[in-house]
Chain A
Amino acid sequence: MKHKLMAALCLVLAGGMTVLAADSKAGGMLVFGKPKDARVLDPGGIDEGNSSNVASNMFESLLAYKPGTTQVIPWLAKSYTVSKDNLEITFHLRTDVKFHDGTTMDADAVVFSLKRQNDKTNPFNQFGPWKYWSSKGWSATDKAPGLVKDIVKLDNQTVKVILNQPDQSILYNFALYFTAVVSPTAAQKLGAEFKNHPVGTGPFQFVEWVKDDHIALKRFEGYWGVKPHLNGIIFKVFPDEQARILALKKGEADMIDPPGPEGLKAIEGDPNLKVQRVELLSIGYLALNCETGPLVDKRLRQALSYAVDRKAILASVYGKTGIAEKLPIPSLLWGYDKSIADYEFSPAKAKALVKASGAKTPIKLNIMYLPAWRPYNPSGKRVAEIMQAELKEVGFDAEIHTFELGTYWDNLDAGKFDVAMTGWTGEGDPDDFLYNLFTEGYNNSSRWKNKEYVDLVTKAKFQSTIPERSKLYYKAEKILMQDAPILMLARGVQFRPMNKKVSGFVVSPTGLMDFVGVTMAK
């Protein structure tokens, strides 16, 4: 039976070659080298990049990001309307979309895909955890009602999402993978195994998954949109970064996940390879503890912002892998106030503020630096060392230390620091940065509480138009800058290495990869 399957796969792949014979760019299996295997491939259960990068080729959502941008466009829904009270979103579905198992994508499928995540009494809720849905507070808990009240089928091609309270920022979430539409037929048949044998509507369909080794996808011939040129993609796991780079150099992989700065140097200069630059929605910053310790005093937080030469850090630590940002919202997004004045590097102003605070110098500071490379911070240790020297000049005695990542997060959550490095990779709406990072919850690492700010970013959720929301965000950003609960470092830039024979690859700023336009020169 297995061999018949194998033979069938070969025939299908060969068949794909024949079907696309007219397409001169058609063909090829692309091998993508990644550091870790996927955890699960049911989009509802995914909350990390190693799974979403694979699943996003097999699944689609009601809306989508225009390739390479943060602009949200209709996708499986051909249009949508939002009620005047902002409590109901109605999606009108396409009629020409099939799942990989041949069944039709319709309102029942959308309701099934979303309701299993939202409704604890749904028989398919047990196949979670639906990490993203719950982490966003969409489903009800014993403490509070969730944001999403219900998902209702109006007719075969129309679905309504009803909210408990208005929230404009919810819309972009329907372009993310966790709201993707899955085949109810396959999910009901496979139960808990669906996460290992996914069936969606995307341009590629699942072939096989050998755990910790590879996941193979092939082109979906019944795809409703523009069909991919590639016959298929193999996501192959190379856990060691240097081994991954060597596999790329040798042609065993055609593309690999972005390496760290050292790995990037090993790739530059290879005549067979190239790198694609991608600006991410990924910001790195220092959380300044506003609840306990010396930085409860706003003047000392401002002094820190003046004392650290961020341009020098950007040049010497980030190099090409970072760009300057003054606010904890990427300048790529609407809602970003370009006119706002940043803190310049001025040890004199820092000293003056320290003096004005009346604190006894040297002021002891506990700086916790990131133990590992992150997309928004290539070397926490080097940043901390530079800061330590600069802060000494203006009256701070900084002690720098780190922990293993799990402990690091525990300490970050518990506020056991004066200054801690952290960051955030967002998803295309200012709310994901300005509300998420500075109101109640784990993500408010600075433990900063400012009622005026919270009112503004909460109110921004309820406004219907971008200009209305932007005005509120501009006001909020001024408060943020003035109160200085964080010290911005930079926004991450990725360099995706690939063989020169690969072209047409697109990555969105959220990091998701689009292989539809990819061709491989023969």
Chain B
Amino acid sequence: MGRYIAKRFLLVIPTILGVITLVFFLRFLSPGDPARLMLGERATPDAVRVLRAEWGLDRPKAEQYLVYMGKVLRLDLGRSYKNGDPVAQEILTRFPATVELSVVSMVIASVLGILAGVVAATRRNTVADFVAMVGSLVGVSVPIFWLGLILIIVFAVNLNLFPTGGRLDGRMLMVPITGFYTLDGLLYIFREHDFSYFLSALHHIILPAVALATVPLAVIARVTRSAMLEIMGQDYIRTARAKGLPERTVIWSHAFRNALLPVITIIGIEFGYNLAGTVLTETIFAWPGIGNWLYTAVLSRDYLAVQGGVAFVSIAFILINLLVDVMYAYVNPRIRY
């Protein structure tokens, strides 16, 4: 097992370097000069020339690549063109917001998706199955920017149940401790005996997490349903039923545990997608995470930020996949590496 994990870790290195190289050269396909964009409408040709030289953009592509890779190998992702701050620092400041949103949305998606999938499979061809499957089809099809706005209009504006966006009440100032606001809110309860931060953080995360959960929820529900249907037709399920075991025990102890493997895979993959794909949700719900930041970086041709951000998200994605593989062994004792 340890050897397998070490091997996978070693494979991560060339994968990351490959991603960084690809993103580095893809940028040359994108039109627009970052120095011109950064200096804005008032730029003079001289000022643009000076800035291009300062950023090394006037050097040959190969030289730019070698200089950049040299820095990356020393764990230096460079400085953002936008504000001159280190890219690594910019990423780490925003990453907790994205992780927090993704985790909460995946908890919602996993719990509801598995429930919907199991219900649909065990009540096949009933109204419950129909509702769960049509619901999941709608879930994967609805554009998230539209759904996000509808959620805001209905639940935040008309019903006044949730805030429209942000991570905390607009007038509430909290010095972040971990960067995970729900966790920080909990720490504030213990340290300051103040519940307001935790409640506000929780209140703010629900709508964006629900919006972000729709696609993974739908996918998890469909995968769970088909995995369960396959298992429910197996001989040992019939045997369990013949033994007179209660249906609940048959479903959850015998069928579900064996159907978990593809479900865990899909949860892992969806979590990876979620981390990388929060751009629209973060933009609509004013969520200051890495997706929002990457989007702005792409528009302003902040190459170093884009390269660093993509590399970081790729590493997260690869590590999640590795974690999923490791979890296989735990879930299915027959799998040994």
**Interface residues, chain A, with chain B CB atoms under 8 Å away:** 2-3, 5-6, 9, 29, 31, 36-37, 39-40, 45, 47-48, 127, 129, 131-132, 134-137, 141, 143-144, 192, 195-196, 207-208, 210-214, 216, 234, 236-240, 242-244, 246-247, 249-250, 252-253, 403-407, 409-410, 413, 424-425, 441-443
> By the criterion CB–CB under 8 Å, are A36 and B85 in contact?
no
Closest chain B residue, CB of each to CB of A10 = B173
> By the criterion CB–CB under 8 Å, are A211 and B42 in contact?
no
Interface class of chain B by DSSP: helix
B129-153 with Cβ < 8 A to chain A: 145, 148-149, 152-153
Contact of A135 (CB < 8 Å), options: B44, B82, B169: B44
> By the criterion CB–CB under 8 Å, are B84 and A212 in contact?
no
CB neighbours (8 Å) of A250 from chain B are: 156-157, 160, 163-164
Is residue B235 contacting chain A, with contact meaning CB distance below 8 A? no
Is residue B51 contacting chain A, with contact meaning CB distance below 8 A? yes
Contact of A131 (CB < 8 Å), options: B39, B94, B164, B293: B39
CB neighbours (8 Å) of B84 from chain A are: 40, 45, 127, 192, 195
> By the criterion CB–CB under 8 Å, are B170 and A5 in contact?
no
CB neighbours (8 Å) of B288 from chain A are: 37, 210-213, 237
Interface stretch, picked from B30-38, B61-69, B253-261, B266-274, is B30-38
> How many angstroms from the CA of A237 to the CA of B288 in the assembled complex?
8
> How many angstroms from the CA of A249 to the CA of B160 in the assembled complex?
11
> How many angstroms from the CA of A141 to the CA of B284 in the assembled complex?
44
Contact of A211 (CB < 8 Å), options: B93, B149, B160: B93
Given contacts A134-B47, A214-B170, contact A247 B36 (CB under 8 A): no
Going nearest first, the 9 A-B pairs with the smallest beta carbon separation are A406-B32, A212-B288, A213-B288, A2-B175, A407-B31, A31-B170, A238-B286, A247-B164, A239-B283
Give the shortest distance, in Å, between A480 (CB) and chain B (any CB).
Answer: 20
Is residue B224 contacting chain A, with contact meaning CB distance below 8 A? no
Give the shortest distance, in Å, between B283 (CB) and chain A (any CB).
Answer: 5
Given contacts A129-B54, A240-B283, contact A409 B45 (CB under 8 A): no
> By the criterion CB–CB under 8 Å, are A243 and B51 in contact?
no
B19-44 with Cβ < 8 A to chain A: 31-33, 36-44
Give the shortest distance, in Å, between A492 (CB) and chain B (any CB).
Answer: 14
Contact of B296 (CB < 8 Å), options: A3, A36, A131: A36
> How many angstroms from the CA of A36 to the CA of B299 in the assembled complex?
12
Is residue B83 contacting chain A, with contact meaning CB distance below 8 A? yes
Give the shortest distance, in Å, between B147 (CB) and chain A (any CB).
Answer: 13
> By the criterion CB–CB under 8 Å, are A195 and B33 in contact?
no
> How many angstroms from the CA of A48 to the CA of B82 in the assembled complex?
11
A-B contact pairs, 5 of them (CB 8 A): A3-B192, A134-B44, A137-B46, A239-B284, A252-B164
> By the criterion CB–CB under 8 Å, are B165 and A238 in contact?
yes
Contact of B33 (CB < 8 Å), options: A29, A213, A410: A410
> How many angstroms from the CA of A407 to the CA of B36 in the assembled complex?
10
Is residue B222 contacting chain A, with contact meaning CB distance below 8 A? no
> How many angstroms from the CA of A96 to the CA of B63 in the assembled complex?
54
> By the criterion CB–CB under 8 Å, are B171 and A135 in contact?
no
> How many angstroms from the CA of A257 to the CA of B296 in the assembled complex?
18
CB neighbours (8 Å) of A127 from chain B are: 84
Against A, the Cβ 8 Å flags (1 = close, 0 = not) of B283-303 are 111101100110010010100
> By the criterion CB–CB under 8 Å, are A213 and B156 in contact?
no
Known pairs A213-B167, A234-B173, A406-B299; list 10 more (Cβ under 8 Å). Answer: A47-B40, A134-B44, A137-B44, A195-B83, A236-B170, A237-B286, A243-B284, A246-B157, A410-B32, A410-B36
Interface class of chain A by DSSP: mixed
CB neighbours (8 Å) of A240 from chain B are: 145, 149, 283-284, 286
> How many angstroms from the CA of A425 to the CA of B160 in the assembled complex?
39
Against A, the Cβ 8 Å flags (1 = close, 0 = not) of B274-288 are 000000001111101
Give the shortest distance, in Å, between B285 (CB) and chain A (any CB).
Answer: 7
> By the criterion CB–CB under 8 Å, are A246 and B170 in contact?
no
Contact of A246 (CB < 8 Å), options: B38, B85, B164, B174: B164
> By the criterion CB–CB under 8 Å, are B44 and A442 in contact?
yes
Is residue B90 contacting chain A, with contact meaning CB distance below 8 A? yes
> By the criterion CB–CB under 8 Å, are B157 and A442 in contact?
no
> By the criterion CB–CB under 8 Å, are B175 and A31 in contact?
no
Is residue B262 contacting chain A, with contact meaning CB distance below 8 A? no
> By the criterion CB–CB under 8 Å, are A5 and B165 in contact?
no
> By the criterion CB–CB under 8 Å, are B37 and A239 in contact?
no
> How many angstroms from the CA of A125 to the CA of B170 in the assembled complex?
36
> How many angstroms from the CA of A243 to the CA of B147 in the assembled complex?
12
> By the criterion CB–CB under 8 Å, are B301 and A406 in contact?
yes
> By the criterion CB–CB under 8 Å, are A208 and B44 in contact?
no
Closest chain B residue, CB of each to CB of A31 = B170
> By the criterion CB–CB under 8 Å, are A39 and B177 in contact?
no
CB neighbours (8 Å) of B152 from chain A are: 243, 246
Is residue B176 contacting chain A, with contact meaning CB distance below 8 A? yes
CB neighbours (8 Å) of B46 from chain A are: 134, 137, 141, 143-144
CB neighbours (8 Å) of B85 from chain A are: 196
> How many angstroms from the CA of A127 to the CA of B145 in the assembled complex?
39
Contact of B32 (CB < 8 Å), options: A40, A207, A404: A404
> By the criterion CB–CB under 8 Å, are A441 and B176 in contact?
no
CB neighbours (8 Å) of A246 from chain B are: 152-153, 156-157, 164
Is residue B243 contacting chain A, with contact meaning CB distance below 8 A? no
Closest chain B residue, CB of each to CB of A28 = B171
> How many angstroms from the CA of A240 to the CA of B164 in the assembled complex?
11
Is residue B191 contacting chain A, with contact meaning CB distance below 8 A? yes
Is residue B50 contacting chain A, with contact meaning CB distance below 8 A? yes
> By the criterion CB–CB under 8 Å, are B82 and A134 in contact?
no
Is residue B78 contacting chain A, with contact meaning CB distance below 8 A? no
Give the shortest distance, in Å, between B178 (CB) and chain A (any CB).
Answer: 12
With most chain B CB atoms within 10 A of its CB, the pick from A47, A213, A238, A242 is A213
> By the criterion CB–CB under 8 Å, are A407 and B32 in contact?
yes
Contact of A252 (CB < 8 Å), options: B47, B166, B174: B166
> How many angstroms from the CA of A250 to the CA of B145 in the assembled complex?
20
> How many angstroms from the CA of A212 to the CA of B288 in the assembled complex?
5
Closest chain A residue, CB of each to CB of B290 = A212
Give the shortest distance, in Å, between A282 (CB) and chain B (any CB).
Answer: 11
> How many angstroms from the CA of A196 to the CA of B282 in the assembled complex?
23
> How many angstroms from the CA of A9 to the CA of B174 in the assembled complex?
11
> By the criterion CB–CB under 8 Å, are A135 and B149 in contact?
no
CB neighbours (8 Å) of A40 from chain B are: 83-84
Closest chain A residue, CB of each to CB of B55 = A129
Closest chain A residue, CB of each to CB of B177 = A2
Give the shortest distance, in Å, between A437 (CB) and chain B (any CB).
Answer: 11
CB neighbours (8 Å) of B163 from chain A are: 250, 252
